[in-house]
Amino acid sequence: MSASRTAQHPRTAQGTRSTSESTVELDLNLDGTGQSHIDTSVPFFDHMLTAFAKHSLTDLTVRASGDTNIDAHHTVEDISIVLGQAIREALGDKSGISRYGDALVPLDEALAQAVVDISGRPYLVHSGEPAGFEHHLIGGHFTGSLVRHVFEAITFGAGLTVHVRVLAGRDPHHIAEAEFKAFARAFRQAKALDPHVVGIPSTKGAL
């Protein structure tokens, strides 16, 4: 991983992961415009990562392949691990960031809320998905249970405190997409450089 973290230079990071189950290459720029080039070999996850990049204003490139003939789980998990680690690296010492973000996002009948604290303390609270959602195959490749798993991996890799709540929804595609977009919008606020913040936004002096 490598990163540059000043207001004058983009906060960027690169990450790779290679196992017997998958190979992942990832580049991100936290100060981007939401451009993305995503090829994970899991079409619905491509869709979700594209939405994350667009709505968080993070430039994101992901190239990944894996044993999706067995299950999408390994590939999705490894990408999410690398994404979380890259976010942590790009954030640097977190000087000047807003730190907190909160977003409420609808998608037709679905409604999701996400709250993000770039706290340095990984913690995920995830609730509200309807019964049976975790068993649904979205797009024929992506199991509903993977939504929570993605947020777990990102949260722990990046050192974020994240609360995600599904407040309404019927269609599994809409529910998942609302969750990803809410997380993206909340993260966008939290990572933003605030000109009124001097140093680390914590009374501890570190995040």
Per cent of the chain over pLDDT 90 is 91
Contact in structure between 65 and 75 (CB atoms under 8 Å): yes
For the chain, domains (ranges, CATH) are 12-191 (3.30.230.40)
- Walk across the sheet containing 161-168 and list its strands: 100-107, 110-117, 161-168, 123-127
**Cα separation of 158 and 127, whole Å?**
20
136: confidence class by pLDDT, cuts 50, 70, 90: very high
Tell me what the mean pLDDT of segment 132-156 comes to: 96
Q: What number of H helices and E strands is found in the chain?
A: 4, 10
76: confidence class by pLDDT, cuts 50, 70, 90: very high
* Structure-token match 């199991």, residue found: 143
10: confidence class by pLDDT, cuts 50, 70, 90: confident
> Per-residue pLDDT tens for 100-125?
999 999 999 999 999 999 999 999 99
